Amino acid sequence: MATFDVDSFEDWKPSDFPQGFVCPEAGNSVKYKTGGWRSRRPIWDPEACKNCMLCWVYCPDASIQVKDGAMTGIDLDHCKGCGVCVSECRFGALKMITESEAKEA
């Protein structure tokens, strides 16, 4: 699957935009990495996290990774950067940064 440089998005020509399609097979979303659409990403602070799982409940992309009832990270291959998890976090364990900031870190 092709990767796209979202930092140069403003320089893209119409022919540079990826073409999408809908596959009729059920349960195939894990095959398609959609995180490249993102311009901002959530950053998780495990020290501040209380494992309340509100982020997991509300994430529309099932991108909150959980093992044994505790958050273990964020699936950035599928997270689209909507920020719902950050809005729902009551403990300040999630914040949004730009993809450019993430590259600098």
Give the C-alpha separation, 97 to 8, whole Å: 17
- For the chain, what percentages of helix, strand and coil (3-state, to nearest 5) are there? 30, 20, 50
- Helical H runs in 1-105? 54-58, 84-88, 99-104
Looking at the whole model, is its pTM more than 0.75?
no
Task: For residue range 70-105, list pLDDT tens digits in order.
Answer: 999 999 999 999 999 999 999 999 999 999 999 887
**Of 3.40.50.10860, 3.30.70.20, 3.40.50.800, 3.40.50.970, which CATH number belongs to 6-104?**
3.30.70.20
Task: For residue range 19-52, list pLDDT tens digits in order.
Answer: 766 666 777 777 778 888 889 999 999 999 999 9
Give the single-character DSSP code of 37: G
- Dihedral (C-alpha) 64, 83, 33, 5: value to the nearest 10 degrees? -140
